[in-house]
Structures are given as structure tokens and as C-alpha cells.
Structure 1
Amino acid sequence: MTILAIDDERTMLLHLKSELKKVFPNAELLTFDECDEVLTYLDAPQSRAPQYAFLDIKLRGMLGIELARRIREHCPQTRIIFCTAYSVYALEAYNVPALGYLMKPVTEQKLRDAILHIESQLGTPPEGGAPHDHKLVVHTFGSFDVLYNGTPVSFEREKARELLALLVDRQGLSMTNSEIEAVLWEDPPSQQYLYTLFHSLRKTLHSIGFDDLLIRSRNRTSIDVSKIQCDLYEFLQGNPDAANSYAGEYMNNYSWAEYTNGRLYNGNFSDFLLAAQMRK
């Protein structure tokens, strides 16, 4: 793995390099304090395409936004992350397109959080020493998707997949069998069919080592939210990257999710925050 660190302030560059080494101890870490040096490296036939480029937005001789565009022209797959003390640039930075931005001073924890979020959004596993959190990655913005180690999880029954989506939507709050049936079907089937769905869902989760994701107690079911990384949950926690990824669509493959989407779209978070408090 090759990583570029770019800052025209030498002290900041050394600090960024130090923090990156903690997160990517085995990576080839290349530092630059001049934009021309970056372009010379990228033009060299023997250069390796960087997986990440961490750069300041305000650079000597060229705005970091322009340099980011040049990097992406050479290496379209490079993940661009801006490191800046100027928050006013944040929205413009996202239009590069960049995958994230970090406010200075950059720390090891900020880097780990940003990388985990980026890789979860891309549906790829962290590389080269980046942190593994052993969680299911759940996407709710747009369509509902579940990924494990960067690969979409295959469900034996589509209705079992929808059952999991409903439990994710409830953010760890338990539901009775009757409540689940009322949401998933206009005319509830036999109770035996719901048990069949639970069995199918458990079978899928067992195949990827998440037997304990479902929490069953008598007639109630919930999920252990600590075992998933979900864009909805990060959005409600104020994560700026998650907020940026919400484009007005939420689990658009399920009609019952329109109610939640309406609250997200209109900024009505009171019920969500109450649910979050109850599950702590």
C-alpha cells in the first residue's frame, strides 16, 4: 500500500506522517511539501498508484482542491482525504470528489474513524494495517444493503433480508412478533412462517459468524447494534461524512421505510435520539 501525505507546513507534515504510521505501520508512506514534487512522482513510470492521499487544502503554489483533481486524473481509485484548519472549505472539498476531510490537528483516532467510514461506504475491507472492527457494514441510505468483508451478504429468503432491515430501522429496540407481522405484511401469514423467516435469517448470520446479532427474548426480537456499522446510526451521531451521504433516500426498497425517511428528510430527530438513549 502506498500513501501520500502532502502539506507545505513542515511541522504539520511531520505530525501527519507520525499519525499515519500508527494507523498504517506497513505502508509505503511518501511525504511532500511541494505540489510539483507530487506531480513529478505521479508522472514517473515506476510510481505506484496511491491508495490514499492526505493533503491540506491550502497549499503553496496550488490549491489542494486542484492538486486533488490532478491526483484523481492520474489515479482514479485514490481515496482523497483533506486535512485542514479551514472548515469553510469542507463542502467544496466534497465536490472534488473527496471521500472525507479531517480538521487539524489530525490524530490517530480521527484517521481510524475516517478510514473505517470510507471503507464501509465503499463496501471494502480496510487494508494495510487499517483497523478491523469485525462488524457487519449496513447501508440504509438509498437501498438496504449488508456487506461482510466487502462482499454483499446473500440471504436465503428476501423476506428474511427485509426482517433484518426492519430490526436495523428500530435501532436496537425490541419488537413483538405481532408488531413485526403488522409492518411486513398487510395480511399477516401464519405465525409458523415468521418462525421460518427467523430460522432463515439465523442461518444466514451463522454462515458469516454473526449468530449473536439477533437478540430473542420470549416474544420479542431486537439486534445488537454494537455489532454493525450503519450509516443511519452514524448520521444520528453527527458524523459529517454520513450526513453528506444522505441524499433524501432511505431503504427505498421497502415502503414501510418511508416514515423514517420523512423524519430524516424533515430533520425530526427527537424519536431517533430517544431510541438511541434507550438502547445505551
Structure 2
Amino acid sequence: MTILAIDDEPVMLVHLETELRKVFPKADIVTFDECDEVLAFLETPQSRSLQYAFMDIKLRGMLGIELAKRIKDQCPQTRILFCTSYSYYALEAYQLHALGYLMKPVDADKLREAVSQIEAQLGTFPEDGTEIPGKLVVHTFGNFEVLYNGTPLVFEREKAKELLALLIDRQGLSMTNGEIEAFLWEELHSPQYLQTLFYSLRKTLRGIGFEDLLIRTRNHTSIDVSKLHCDLYEFLKGSADAVNSYAGEYMNNYSWAELTNARLYNGTFSDFVLAAQARSRR
């Protein structure tokens, strides 16, 4: 993923780059203080991976509004955010479909919050696995994986990981202990073993500050779906990115997931593809 930082004030440009690296530690951040250099960059192959452009609204030789139009013409996928001291350009910026308008001085917290809101609004994942504040990133298409700070979460027990996958598959609906046992094992197991799995899963989640993801009563368990950014959930909302990422495979790790995969593929898959394609043409 490539990110542009554009400001004609050298001190402010260095500050913007520093704060962006805190938010996007794995991204390729390219800085410019001249509009001509930005236009030249747009002609290079690297611009094809341009996801964000953070830029001032008043630049030497060209208004940021005009430069943003040139960027969008060349790279329509780019998300424009203005970082400026001039609030009176905000309306024009949003008419350009800018996704953010931040008043200087910007810092990592402001940038992170803006990016989080954009990703949630668009139903997309940052391409480099960057953390979405307050949420775990969950991949269900293909093999099941949970990412924390862009890194796969390590579970103490593989069966505890499967337990979390099952609860995510239920999309916030509660399951009784008996229902969970029926999905996880073909043969009977002692109730104590299920409690051991819950303890192990809570321990893993507690270690990253997400223990409250699990919602438990005496005999029922569910998850707080608001704490997850999950491709399945985005697919069901009709997100074009999520629909395009589904290739007919869902939680390949687990045989019980075949039922959900059949519903996705045979029941709603075509409808969501058509809806996403229609949105992309607007």
C-alpha cells in the first residue's frame, strides 16, 4: 500500500510523515512538497497502489482542491484527506468526495480515528493489515484467521480458536453449551472440557484487551459483533470489496462451516455480486 503526504511547508511535511508512520507502519509513505512532483508520481507504476493521500489545501502553484482532482482522475481508488488550517474550504473538499478534513495540527490519534471511520463506512480492510482501533480484524474467507495489530492472533489451544470461529459464524446469536459441544465434537465430551476451552479463549482475549468480546450467561454464549471487522459481516452488508474477496471458500479449517458456505455460494452469493457491481457503477 502506498500513501502520499503532501505539504509545501517542510516542517509540517516532516510532522505529517512522522504521524502517518505511527498509523501505517507497514505502508510505503511517499512525501512531496511540490505539486509538479506529485503529478510526475501519478504517471509511475507505484501510483497504482495508492490508497490514501493526506494533503494540505493550499500549496505552491496549485490549490490542493485542484491537485486532489488530478489525483482522483489518475487514481480513482485513492482516498483523499485534507490536513489544513483553512476550514472555509471544507464544503468544496467534500463536494470533491474527500473522505476527511482534519484541522492542523494533526497527530496519530486524529489520523487513526479518521481512517477507522472511513474503513468502517466503506466496509473495507486496510490492505497492509493495519489495526482498526477498537476492533479485531477477522478473515473467514479461505481459512479462519484473527488479526491483532496486523498479526495473526496465537491461541493457546486450537480448539479454543475453533470455538471463537463458531461464535463468529453465528453472527452474535447465542449458543447453548450443548449446541457448542454438538458442533465442536462428534462424540460426547465432559462439560468440564468445554469450560477449559472457554477459560483458554478468555485468557487469549484478555491478553490483547478483548476479553469483553465474549458475552456469557450461565448456559449461553455469544459475541459482541461491534468489536469485529469481519469479511463475512461486510459481505452480508453488500460491501463490494468483501464480495470480491469471496471465492467460494469459507472457514476451510472447519467442516461445520460448509453449511454457511453453501448458503453464501448457492443462496445469496449471486445477489450480492450483482448489488456490489451496481454500486460500483454509480
What amino acid does structure 2 have at the position aligned with 1:108? Answer: G
- Please tell me whether the aligned partners of residues 215 and 221 of structure 1 are also in contact (alpha carbons under 8 angstroms): yes
> 1:107 Cα deviation (Å)?
2.8
1:72-107: CA deviations, max 9, x gaps? xxxxxxxx8257xxxxxxxxxxxxxxxxxxx96343
Residue aligned with 2:77, SS: strand
Instruction: State the match for 1:75 in structure 2.
Output: none
Cα distance in 1 for residues equivalent to 2:38 and 2:130: 31
- Please tell me whether the aligned partners of residues 141 and 251 of structure 2 are also in contact (alpha carbons under 8 angstroms): yes
Instruction: State the match for 1:203 in structure 2.
Output: 203
What amino acid does structure 2 have at the position aligned with 1:248? Answer: G
Cα distance in 2 for residues equivalent to 1:232 and 1:163: 17
Instruction: State the match for 2:177 in structure 1.
Output: 177
Instruction: State the match for 1:250 in structure 2.
Output: 250
- Please tell me whether the aligned partners of residues 116 and 133 of structure 2 are also in contact (alpha carbons under 8 angstroms): no
- Please tell me whether the aligned partners of residues 4 and 31 of structure 2 are also in contact (alpha carbons under 8 angstroms): yes
Instruction: State the match for 2:27 in structure 1.
Output: none
CA 1:120/1:182 → structure 2, altered by over 3 Å: closer, same or farther? farther
Q: Which 5+ residue runs of structure 2 have no aligned equivalent?
A: 7-15, 21-29, 55-68, 80-94, 102-113, 270-282
Instruction: State the match for 1:265 in structure 2.
Output: 265
1:19-43: CA deviations, max 9, x gaps? xxxx999557659988993248869
> 1:211 Cα deviation (Å)?
1.2
1:236-268: CA deviations, max 9, x gaps? 112111111111111011010010011111234
Instruction: State the match for 1:93 in structure 2.
Output: none
Q: Which 5+ residue runs of structure 1 have no aligned equivalent?
A: 6-22, 44-48, 69-79, 84-102, 126-131, 270-280
Answer yes or no: is 1:138 the counterpart of 2:138.
yes
What amino acid does structure 2 have at the position aligned with 1:81? Answer: Q
Cα distance in 2 for residues equivalent to 1:188 and 1:253: 21
Instruction: State the match for 2:162 in structure 1.
Output: 162
Instruction: State the match for 2:77 in structure 1.
Output: 81
What amino acid does structure 1 have at the position aligned with 2:4? Answer: I
Instruction: State the match for 1:37 in structure 2.
Output: 39
> 1:228 Cα deviation (Å)?
1.1
Instruction: State the match for 1:152 in structure 2.
Output: 152
What amino acid does structure 1 have at the position aligned with 2:77? Answer: I
What amino acid does structure 2 have at the position aligned with 1:37? Answer: L
Cα distance in 2 for residues equivalent to 1:104 and 1:51: 16
Cα distance in 2 for residues equivalent to 1:200 and 1:112: 30
CA 1:41/1:152 → structure 2, altered by over 3 Å: closer, same or farther? same
CA 1:32/1:169 → structure 2, altered by over 3 Å: closer, same or farther? farther
What amino acid does structure 2 have at the position aligned with 1:134? Answer: G
CA 1:111/1:213 → structure 2, altered by over 3 Å: closer, same or farther? closer
Residue aligned with 2:267, SS: coil
After TM superposition, the structure 1 = structure 2 runs for residues 61-140 of structure 1, keeping only pairs within 5 Å, are 81-82=77-78, 105-108=97-100, 113=117, 115=119, 119-120=125-126, 122-125=128-131, 132-140=132-140
1:87-141: CA deviations, max 9, x gaps? xxxxxxxxxxxxxxxx96343399655546554554233xxxxxx5221111111
Residue aligned with 1:155, SS: coil
TM-score (norm 2): 0.60
Answer yes or no: is 1:235 the counterpart of 2:235.
yes
Instruction: State the match for 2:11 in structure 1.
Output: none
> 1:213 Cα deviation (Å)?
0.9
Instruction: State the match for 1:87 in structure 2.
Output: none
TM-score (norm 1): 0.60
Cα distance in 1 for residues equivalent to 2:262 and 2:151: 30
CA 1:173/1:40 → structure 2, altered by over 3 Å: closer, same or farther? closer
Cα distance in 1 for residues equivalent to 2:139 and 2:228: 10
- Please tell me whether the aligned partners of residues 120 and 137 of structure 1 are also in contact (alpha carbons under 8 angstroms): no
- Please tell me whether the aligned partners of residues 136 and 147 of structure 1 are also in contact (alpha carbons under 8 angstroms): yes
Cα distance in 2 for residues equivalent to 1:111 and 1:104: 18
Alignment root-mean-square deviation, CA: 4.0
Residue aligned with 2:172, SS: coil
What amino acid does structure 1 have at the position aligned with 2:177? Answer: N
